Amino acid sequence: MNLSEKEIFEYHRKPRPGKIEIRPSKPLKTQRDLSIAYTPGVAKVVLSIEENPENAYEYTAKANLVAVISNGTAILGLGNRGALASKPVMEGKAVLFKNFADIDAIDIEVNERDPDRFIHVVQSIAPTFGGINLEDIKAPDCFYIEEKLVESLDIPVFHDDQHGTAIITLAALINALELQNKKIGDVKIVIVGAGAAGIAIGRLLRRYGARHILLLDSKGVIYRGRKERMNPYKEEFAVDTDARTLDDAMEGADVFIGVSVANLLNEKHLKSMAERPIIFALANPDPEVDYYFALQTRPDAIVATGRSDFPNQVNNLLGFPYIFRGALDVRARVVNDEMKIAAAEALAELARQEVTEETLRAYGVEKLVFGKEYIIPKPLDPRIIYWVAPAVARAAIESGVARRIIDIEQYRESLKDKFSPTFRFMRYVINKAKSDPRTIVYPEGEDERVIRAASHIVNEGIARVVLVGNEESIRRKIDEYGITFAHPPRIVNPRTFDRIHEYTDTLYRIRQRKGFTWYEVSRIIYHPIMFSLVMLARDEVDAFVGGVTYNYSDILRRVLQVIGKRPEYRKVAGAYILIIKRRLYMIADATVNADLSAEDLADIAYMSYVKARRYGIKPRIAFISFSNFGSSNHPEALKARKAFEILSSRHPEILADGEMQADVAVDVELLNHLYPFSHLRDKGANILIFPNLDSANSAYKLLWKLADGIAIGPLLMGLKKAAHIVQQGDSVEAIYNLSIMAVVDAQSKKEY
């Protein structure tokens, strides 16, 4: 992936510096709220925690709060750069905790290199947190620091550089050994790198049953009696052996695990290994041996690296979010070896399962089957959280370190419910787009936001792009802003386009009986919007995304003029998808029609149904009104009621109901209490059909802003081809999101 310095720094700087923020989880809108949240009400909670410290888990954020702590002495591969310089990395780790496991994490950079004083700082702040993730602390200090903190604290303390790497390595090794028909207790294992990761890997493999391990550092084999550059942690692995060098160690080795430096292994090393070897070259960014060279030299080998562009990536992201999730949810006192092994075994077992279509699409492949090139799950597999976290929680309970005993199967199901809506939806549409990339035309190709969004779309393999505009201007902006494209975009300038007469003919044929003269067509064809729409009408592109610099209604008028609506629908309509607190809703018609009849509403409901299914949403439709199931005979209430009846008569297979108030539609408890006859009583509605543009537009904007949701749209429905119009002034993210939806729409041979 090509990343420019400008793009990296802009990402970390805008729209506000850094990658994390803190937001309240409780309302603080009234005097009563204030009295409960702070004084005098909070005093009751204080006394409760003093009486029983465990109540802190019930009444404060401690139960879901992790500290990501470093002193910056071993930052990534950059070495000792200081505490402050480690902050971007620690913020990044906090973001991963939140995004992948919904764990609130705060980065803490401690400007202290003395291990004992560092330990004292962490001990002093530990009551705040439910767990502590140590990060980027140099060896051997990291071992001593973690040991002392584990001994003195009653919350999980986990140094990811050690144990994260060790756990994922063990998971991969379990499967590699099975495929190579070898047993952990019999194989000769060579570990190169005696820092945090190497020592932790060796310890965990021994705990799992490994008996023959040779550990090497930059001075060679760690053997019994060696004096040079030794410490107590290396002494654990000092063995009686005549081997002194890497050449000696590799002779007859079954397993090589490298956490050291690039290009360490040569052809001689590889050929001296035992039959059916296992080679884990985990140095980043460049492994100890090139993946393809290793396989070319030893075709009988299984090879893994730390890189995402090769099969079998050993990635800590597979571990720490889910390990902490499981540990926090049972209020574990430590992360012990039983929990680490449970995580590794869960990952190993998941790799043997059939891979979901969602994961295949995420990586742009047709299949992933357990075997030499797939021994460990992919980091974006959405199932990891409900495989690993329950395994860790079960191990904590069974080993006696959990304060809270839970039903593991119920816990697994709760994780599926909690993490599925946002993650599954976004991954689904992105992966679906990647499965069959199409071509998008952007009429505003000279706009920086459009260029940036287009670069993301291309670089992620979502679509091919056509940028309409002045080529010199576009290329200058690409260079000026440091924007990179994995594949160069096609740039078309209507003013110099050599087939402009063909486009003029096409537009004239479309509009000649609809008020357009040849003269008018020959003039407006140069307009980038009209030019791009004609390109779509001629099937030279598959989708249109525009509007960032134009008025929405003006572009919609042109879209209807050139593309037109499908004849089976009375109107074109617009919808928004809102993701609020991990719940997903579609709201229609939020952008197009001011006045709607019952027939129109039924059409819009059906279009929304089709669109939702295409995006992987299981539709549950509610016709919204101020009335509930006949409580009013006002004409507007009767309109919504009639729309439901029309839809039900035409499409009885669709789950829908109405008329009903908006709160009733989404509140399952209210539905069951007041209206147990409702078709939506089991889960409530996720598609809300509003009676007019005023109500739908206001509802989506209020929900989006006040609930801080994710809004994707507006999504046009009922057109003959895939075209979407962004709102004037929209962000790069909005253009990017709508582009993904356009590709998915273009893949369909049915309604757009």
pLDDT above 60: residue 25: yes
Ramachandran bin of 38, using left for φ above 0, alpha for ψ from -120 to 50, beta for the remaining angles = beta
Q: Is residue 481 within 8 Å of residue 6, measured between CB atoms?
A: yes
Q: Among residues 336, 383, 328, which one has the least CA distance to residue 355?
A: 383
Give the confidence band of 603 by pLDDT, cuts at 50, 70, 90. very high
Q: Is residue 219 within 8 Å of residue 196, measured between CB atoms?
A: no
292 belongs to a structural domain: yes
462 belongs to a structural domain: yes
**Alpha carbon of 124 to those of 261, 342, 736: distances in Å?**
37, 31, 45
What is the rounded end-to-end Cα distance, in angstroms, of the chain? Answer: 32
431 belongs to a structural domain: no
Pick the more confident residue, 433 or 583. 433
Give the confidence band of 2 by pLDDT, cuts at 50, 70, 90. low
Q: Are residues 655 and 684 in the same domain?
A: yes
Q: What is the DSSP string of 540-585?
A: SSSEEEE-TTS-HHHHHHHHHHHT-B-TT-S--EEEEEEEETTEEE
Q: Is residue 587 within 8 Å of residue 608, measured between CB atoms?
A: no
pLDDT above 60: residue 422: no
Ramachandran bin of 379, using left for φ above 0, alpha for ψ from -120 to 50, beta for the remaining angles = alpha
Q: Is residue 450 within 8 Å of residue 440, measured between CB atoms?
A: no
How many CB atoms neighbour CB 680 within 10 A?
22
Between β-strands 710-717 and 573-580, what pairing exists: parallel, antiparallel or unpaired?
antiparallel
Sequence-ordered list of residues with C-beta below 8 angstroms from that of 436, at least 6 positions apart, any chain: 747
Least confident of 129-133, 488-492, 687-691, 699-703: 699-703
Q: Are residues 550 and 663 in the same domain?
A: no
Mean pLDDT highest for which of 396-410, 607-621, 692-706? Answer: 396-410
Token reading at 565: 């609506």
pLDDT value, residue 238: 95
644 belongs to a structural domain: yes
The string of pLDDT tens digits covering residues 689-731 is 999 888 988 888 888 878 777 788 889 999 999 999 998 888 8
pLDDT value, residue 232: 92
Token reading at 362: 């995420």
Examine the fold and report which residue of 310, 333, 350 is the final residue of a domain before the chain moves on.
310
pLDDT value, residue 357: 63
Q: Are residues 78 and 145 in the same domain?
A: yes
Q: Are residues 445 and 365 in the same domain?
A: no
CATH number of residue 528's parent domain: 3.40.50.10950
pLDDT value, residue 725: 94
What is the total count of domains within the chain?
5
CATH number of residue 699's parent domain: 3.40.50.10750
Sequence-ordered list of residues with C-beta below 8 angstroms from that of 38, at least 6 positions apart, any chain: none
**Alpha carbon of 653 to those of 606, 624, 640, 656: distances in Å?**
11, 20, 19, 9
The string of pLDDT tens digits covering residues 94-114 is 999 998 999 999 999 999 999
DSSP 239: B
The string of pLDDT tens digits covering residues 149-184 is 999 999 999 999 899 999 999 999 999 999 999 999
| Residue 490 dihedral angles phi and psi, to the nearest 5° | -80, 130
Q: What is the DSSP string of 307-325?
A: -TTSSSB--GGGTHHHHHH
Residues spanned by the domain of 93 = 5-155
Q: Is the N-terminal amide bond of 589 cis, ω within 30° of 0?
A: yes
Q: Are residues 70 and 202 in the same domain?
A: no
**Alpha carbon of 40 to those of 28, 53, 313: distances in Å?**
14, 20, 53
How many CB atoms neighbour CB 222 within 10 A?
24
Q: What is the DSSP string of 590-635?
A: SSS-SS--HHHHHHHHHHHHHHHHHTT----EEEE-SSSTTS---H
Token reading at 498: 């050599």
Q: Are residues 495 and 609 in the same domain?
A: no
Q: Are residues 401 and 461 in the same domain?
A: no
Examine the fold and report which residue of 155, 175, 207 is the final residue of a domain before the chain moves on.
155
Determine the Cα–Cα distance for residues 599 and 643; give it in Å rounded to an integer: 6
Secondary structure element (H or E) that encloses residue 201, with its range: helix 196-208
122 belongs to a structural domain: yes
Q: Are residues 167 and 306 in the same domain?
A: yes
Sequence-ordered list of residues with C-beta below 8 angstroms from that of 157, at least 6 positions apart, any chain: 131, 132, 134, 146, 149, 150, 334, 335
Q: Among residues 422, 172, 188, 182, which one has the least CA distance to residue 311?
A: 172
Percent of the chain exceeding pLDDT 90 equals: 69
Q: Are residues 514 and 390 in the same domain?
A: no
Q: Is residue 614 within 8 Å of residue 425, measured between CB atoms?
A: no
CATH number of residue 96's parent domain: 3.40.50.10380
The string of pLDDT tens digits covering residues 638-673 is 999 999 999 999 999 999 998 999 999 999 888 988
Secondary structure element (H or E) that encloses residue 586, with its range: strand 583-588
Q: Are residues 480 and 516 in the same domain?
A: yes
Give the confidence band of 14 by pLDDT, cuts at 50, 70, 90. confident
Determine the Cα–Cα distance for residues 709 and 538; give it in Å rounded to an integer: 37
Sequence-ordered list of residues with C-beta below 8 angstroms from that of 472, at least 6 positions apart, any chain: none
pLDDT value, residue 361: 61
Mean pLDDT of 479-502: 90
Mean pLDDT of 287-311: 94
Token reading at 447: 């706009």
749 belongs to a structural domain: no
pLDDT value, residue 752: 47
CATH number of residue 288's parent domain: 3.40.50.720
- State the chain's mean pLDDT as an integer: 91
> Would you please indicate which residues are annotated as catalytic (active-site) residues?
38, 93
Examine the fold and report which residue of 277, 310, 343 is the final residue of a domain before the chain moves on.
310
Mean pLDDT of 558-575: 91
723 belongs to a structural domain: no
Q: Are residues 302 and 238 in the same domain?
A: yes
What residues form DSSP beta bridges with 104?
A: 65
Token reading at 606: 């059906």
Q: Are residues 226 and 290 in the same domain?
A: yes
Report the Cα 625 to chain-centroid distance in Å.
36
pLDDT above 90: residue 517: no
Pick the more confident residue, 749 or 40. 40
Q: What is the DSSP string of 133-197?
A: EE-S--TTHHHHHHHHHHHH-SS-EEEHHHHHHHHHHHHHHHHHHHHTT--TTT-EEEEE--SHH
Determine the Cα–Cα distance for residues 21 and 317; give it in Å rounded to an integer: 21
40 belongs to a structural domain: yes
